[in-house]
Structure 1
Amino acid sequence: MPIIAARRYTEGKPEPADLALTGDPVIEEALPRGCFDWIGLCDPTAEEMARVGRQFGLHPLAIEDALNPRQLPKVDLYGQQLFVVARTAMMDPGGDTITYGQTSMFLGARFIVTVRMGSARAHADLRRALEADTEHLAEGADYVLHAVLDFIVDGYLPIADQFEEVAHAIEEAAIDQFPDPITIRRIFRLRRELRRFERIIGPMEELTLRLAEADLPVIDPSARIWFRDVLDHVRRAMARMQSLKETLAATVETAGLLEQHRQGVITRQLAAWAAILAVPTAIAGIYGMNFDNIPELHWRWGYPMVWGLIAMICGGLLWRFRRIGWL
């Protein structure tokens, strides 16, 4: 069985020996006061989950959902037990893709069972940190539920940090030059990933809100303040993701406006030079016609006069276009 850890805690201190998962039902009333079990599983099979389910009296529907890695975050109540599904997320190394996993938690009065499916972030460091803080761990299994949820939500922050770095780099580059097709495709991929993040992780806000506000049988009222802290972290992470999505959308819009401005400047410059060059072209075209009776055709000063006229008109146009900012 892929057991990461199976321990019994009394007054926040772990028992010397690991807990045996035999499948025999545990009578919670027979456990000492201030005692609870914490079972950590990773990618268990249906048979292994069924054995744990028999030992702790887990509901079959909850077991079925725990084995389905595509559940959305939720809180279900089965008698005096809570079933909580949370979604984990982490960046795919070397890419802009978010990889999702799932952690299901069965919470009873004297036990908590955590089931990780497809999540690369193990709970070993979290467990060691909690075991070092016996005062809080002695509060019971509901504090462990809070700690696991807080651990999962904290995993969203590196994703937001990495997306912010990419978004700001794209935003700075777009000020100087319109994004190339590769960058534009990357922007749309990032926006798609952010929309997917909101769709998958969004229900985490409702989940933590219910744990923080609702009157649930295995959540001590004094523990609700811990879940309100997790709720605050979820809302902060979601706000950052929404802000990033708006930043990427604004980057495309701003880059388009800047490119239109640059194209307008170039168009005005071309129009100005075309107007200046049209003057000698028109005069040369007139005097290039094959007629004898053209004014000043045989006049001694006709040639320099025409050049002077061309220079005067072109110089006047050049001065005018530079004054209005076209050149």
Structure 2
Amino acid sequence: MTIIAARRYLADPADPQGGRRASALELTGTPDAPGSRAGASGAFDWIGLCEPDHDEMDRVAHQYGLHPLAVEDALSPQQMPKLDIYQKHLFIVARTATLEPDETLTYGQTAFFLGPDFIISVRFGSERAHVGLRRTLEADPERLAEGADYVLHAILDFIVDGYLPTMESLEAVAHDMEESAIDAFPEQQTIRRIFRLRRQLRRFERVIGPMEEVCERLAETEVPLIDPTARIWFRDVLDHVRRTMARMRGLKETLAAIVETASLLEQHRQGEMTRQLAAWAGLLAVPTAIAGIYGMNFEYMPELRWHYGYFILLGCVGTICTTLYWRFRRIGWL
């Protein structure tokens, strides 16, 4: 069986040994006797599974009395975050997100079965194992003694905190593109990159967005098997999710603004070039028009046989062009 860890812990805060590991577990698939885990010591089991197959999951489900619909969802790694209440346990689905080197977001799934005296996590697709988290909690027996609902909070907080480096990496990519867009209009490859990231963020919102609703229910409503005193811990997770979603929406707006800002800057640069071309065209139009008139083959034309006509005509062309140049410079066209 793909078991990361299966241990039993004392969960009575009044017990000096509360929160300490009592014993390792063997998952036999045989249903435990009612109250055999909690008993007088208030123990609870914490079992971590990583990508189990159907036979392995059925064995755990039979031993702990898990609902078959919840088991089916736990083995389907494409579920959206949700919280389902069954008769004997809660079923919670959370999603993880990781940014790959090619700027693609990949998603994993962690499902939880929370009972009165057990918590079972089933992880698919996430490389962030809970081994280090388990060691951290075992080093703090006072918190671990609060029970399985506190372990649920700790794992959810661990998952949500994993969104932070992902968002920071995406924000760094967007910042680099934003800086380059100021200097020059983005190339076609950069524009494709921007729209690819926006598509990734839209999917991120669809996949991770329901996590906010799950944490809100855990933090602000009465949910079976969740101690009311534990809501404050889930409220902290809810705050983290909301901050992540706010940063994600801000990042989407930034990517949209990059294209819009670059387009405006490019239009401004093109306007400047158009004005310069128009100014030079106006300067060249004066001698062109005069030369075109005097280039006609007419016998009788003004000052055609005047001795100083050529020099006066050049002077007029120069004066008009100089005046136009000064005027265009003054209004910023040249």
Report TM bin, short chain.
over 0.9
Work out whether 1:167 is the aligned partner of 2:174: yes
What is the DSSP-based 3-state SS (H/G/I as helix, E as strand, rest coil) of the residue aligned with 1:139? coil
Structure 1 residues 98, 28: closer, same or farther in 2, change over 3 A? Answer: farther
- Which residue of 76, 87, 99 maps to 1:91? 99
Instruction: Report the counterpart of residue 310 of structure 2 in structure 1.
Output: 303
Letter in 2 for 1:255: A
Task: Report the more deviating stretch, 250-259 or 240-249.
Answer: 250-259
1:130-187 Cα distance to aligned partner (Å, 9 max, x none): 1111111110000000011001101111111011011111111111111110000000
- Which residue of 43, 49, 74 maps to 1:41? 49
- Check conservation: 1:34, 1:138, Cα contact below 8 A: no
Instruction: Report the counterpart of residue 7 of structure 2 in structure 1.
Output: 7
Unaligned runs of 5+ in 2: 11-17
Residue correspondence of structure 1 range 112-127 to structure 2 within 5 A: 112-127=119-134
RMSD, matched Cα = 1.0
- Check conservation: 1:73, 1:87, Cα contact below 8 A: yes
Determine the C-alpha separation between the residues in 1 that align with 2:301 and 2:36: 122
- Check conservation: 1:23, 1:52, Cα contact below 8 A: yes
TM-fit CA distance, 1:292: 2.4
TM-fit CA distance, 1:26: 1.9
Instruction: Report the counterpart of residue 280 of structure 1 in structure 2.
Output: 287
- Check conservation: 1:102, 1:117, Cα contact below 8 A: yes
Instruction: Report the counterpart of residue 70 of structure 1 in structure 2.
Output: 78
Letter in 1 for 2:2: P
How many residues of Structure 1 are paired with residues of Structure 2 in the alignment?
325
Unaligned runs of 5+ in 1: none
- Check conservation: 1:46, 1:67, Cα contact below 8 A: yes
TM-fit CA distance, 1:288: 1.2
TM-fit CA distance, 1:34: 3.0
Work out whether 1:22 is the aligned partner of 2:28: yes
Instruction: Report the counterpart of residue 324 of structure 1 in structure 2.
Output: 331
1:25-48 Cα distance to aligned partner (Å, 9 max, x none): 123512342311100000000110
Determine the C-alpha separation between the residues in 1 that align with 2:24 and 2:284: 91
TM-fit CA distance, 1:245: 0.2
Instruction: Report the counterpart of residue 81 of structure 1 in structure 2.
Output: 89
Determine the C-alpha separation between the residues in 2 that align with 1:115 and 1:225: 25
Structure 1 residues 220, 28: closer, same or farther in 2, change over 3 A? Answer: farther
Instruction: Report the counterpart of residue 211 of structure 2 in structure 1.
Output: 204
Work out whether 1:60 is the aligned partner of 2:54: no
Large movers: runs of 4+ above 6 Å: none
Work out whether 1:111 is the aligned partner of 2:118: yes
Instruction: Report the counterpart of residue 268 of structure 1 in structure 2.
Output: 275
Letter in 2 for 1:229: D
1:289-314 Cα distance to aligned partner (Å, 9 max, x none): 11222222221211111111111000
Determine the C-alpha separation between the residues in 2 that align with 1:80 and 1:139: 20
Letter in 1 for 2:31: P
Determine the C-alpha separation between the residues in 1 that align with 2:108 and 2:142: 31
- Check conservation: 1:80, 1:217, Cα contact below 8 A: no
TM-fit CA distance, 1:80: 3.2
1:231-250 Cα distance to aligned partner (Å, 9 max, x none): 00000000000000011111
Determine the C-alpha separation between the residues in 2 that align with 1:196 and 1:217: 31
Letter in 1 for 2:270: Q
What is the DSSP-based 3-state SS (H/G/I as helix, E as strand, rest coil) of the residue aligned with 1:313? helix
